[in-house]
Chain A
Amino acid sequence: MAQSGGKKRVQPHIIEEWTGKIYTSLCITFLIVTIFSMVYFVAAKGLSSFFVNGVSFKEIFGSTVWKPDGEPPLFGALPFIIGSFSTSILAALIAAPLGICAALFMVEIMPKYGKKYLQPVIELLAGIPSVVYGFVGLSVVVPFYRDLFPGQGLGIVAGATVLSIMILPTITSIATDALSALPSGLKEGSYALGATRWQTLYRTVIPTTMPALMTGVVLGMARAFGEALAVQMVIGNAPHIPTSLFESTSTLTSVITLSMGNTVMGSVQNNVLWTLAFILMAMTFIFVFTVRWLERRAKR
């Protein structure tokens, strides 16, 4: 059946098929190569402070003294690690109840108003650039805390406040999806037993959706952990562990943001900054795998 006249027509569609295959494969390959080279380069740079410059592991993770210009220079990164963790955990603690309540409001209490008013508000919050959050934090949140509490107002609480608003959309949207995906039979069963709405929510709905709700919280925390500029603007940037939550301190991202441009590529201090970036990246992996683990639990 090989058509002699058809031969000319056979070629184009096979070439076309290959065009599509090659084009899309190239695109996905680009993506894969990008991420592998990203992991490779950041890891190679980040580990060089240990292997090339001989800065000890113990110093970076165990010391609280950051004096890169000192004699000898000291690279204790513990204040930044503590700063990053405390701001992001505090931010998640503030945002989680707010976000979950917002989701309950949209799904369970007043779906009509929720869709009409709250949903767009949350979407808009998600769209606001982080520098704008930083600017508002600096001109509203910091002075507010300065007036109420002793200290400059800058610090962990200011950072966590700003971050909590930034991660609210993440937590809310995932919680909303989880709550709406709940089979209605589950709730009806509880109502049929004469339970009130709140009893149904906290005895049945919240426990069942817990892993999914946690997924949102962890994702939010991941975002807070990696956020750079908004935090840098309100954290104060003092390189030590603060004695109060309202005292100036630093995070991994803030010290990278501020110092990376002022150090020479290849210098010890520069390499230590890359080590901090490597910690950020490693934490991303931990967050992603935690989320995956929670998602698997949520599916069961």
Chain B
Amino acid sequence: MHNIELSTKDLNVFYGEKHAVKDISLDFAAKQVTALIGPSGCGKSTFLRSLNRMNDLIDGAKITGEIWLGDENINDPKTDVVLVRQKIGMVWQRPNPFHKSIYENIAFGPRYHGIRDKRKLDQIVEESLTKAAIWNETKDRLNKSALSLSGGQQQRLCIARSIAVSPNIILMDEPASALDPISSAKIEELIADLKQEYCIIIVTHNMQQAARVSDKTAFFLMGDLVEYDDTSKIFTNPSEKRTSDYISGRFG
């Protein structure tokens, strides 16, 4: 049994009148990949964005329930979100590197968190880029703009950027869906590597991807959590009929 890194209890998200996520209680273990699957609009991305309080940015969003990071309920309004987000990294569907150099993209976070020593920063940049499997492609052009990279490279840079502030958890919102198949495969390999160190929660539309990369899978439908189990069980022998219908492609 792995340690529980993050868990939610009766988490609800409302967008104005819309009840987007309903009473979700889930545990996410360290050094595991959990996939959130389900048809568009089922609330899986909304749920994911609640985990690092990203939904705070959306006017009219209301989140009730508890999110436990260690022994702290981070959904408490008194929580310092800046500290929370430092521990929970995030990667988006479309790569969104800063309009800065490759080096700055990585060094920006750690420097803000208090690391001023140039040698230490250089080391973090190299480590992060290496972990994100993009060091070889970028080591000779660290001062070039990050926007000069290809889409797949930019996405790996974004992963490196989030690793650089040494989070425990990484949230990924369909990280490969905007990429070509080769880049997409590289991201999947990368996720398998990163699992050695991080708790990864990934939203995906792609069933095969979920089956390949994840240890646990949660199936969302209309804001409800239908089923949560080992990935192998969900994909071979789900206990809910709705899950097997979705996985076998009958809807969604």
Contacts and interface: CB of A to CB of B under 8 A. Distances in A.
A9 B80 contact: no
A17 B80 CA distance: 11
A10 B86 CA distance: 12
B16 interface: no
A6 B114 CA distance: 10
Contact of A10 (B71, B72, B83): B83
11 contacts: A1-B69, A1-B70, A1-B71, A1-B72, A6-B83, A9-B113, A9-B114, A10-B80, A10-B83, A13-B82, A14-B80
Contacts of B71: 1
Nearest to A3: B83
A284 B114 CA distance: 52
Interface of A: 1, 6, 9-10, 13-14, 17
A109 to B, nearest CB: 39
Pick from B72, B82, B83, B114 the residue with the most CB of A within 10 Å.
B83
Contacts of B113: 9
Contacts of A17: 82
A15 to B, nearest CB: 12
B113 to A, nearest CB: 7
Instruction: Give chain A's interface secondary structure class.
Output: helix
Interface in B63-87: 69-72, 80, 82-83
Closest 8 CB pairs of A and B: A1-B70, A1-B72, A13-B82, A9-B114, A1-B71, A9-B113, A10-B83, A10-B80
Interface string B104-119: 0000000001100000
A17 B82 CA distance: 10
Contacts of B70: 1
Nearest to B114: A9
B191 to A, nearest CB: 27
Nearest to B83: A10
A50 to B, nearest CB: 46
A28 B83 CA distance: 29
A266 B72 CA distance: 67
B41 to A, nearest CB: 27
A170 B69 CA distance: 56
Contacts of B83: 6, 10
A17 B69 CA distance: 23
Nearest to B87: A1
A119 to B, nearest CB: 29
A6 B80 CA distance: 13
A10 B84 CA distance: 12
A148 to B, nearest CB: 59
A264 B71 CA distance: 73
A167 to B, nearest CB: 37
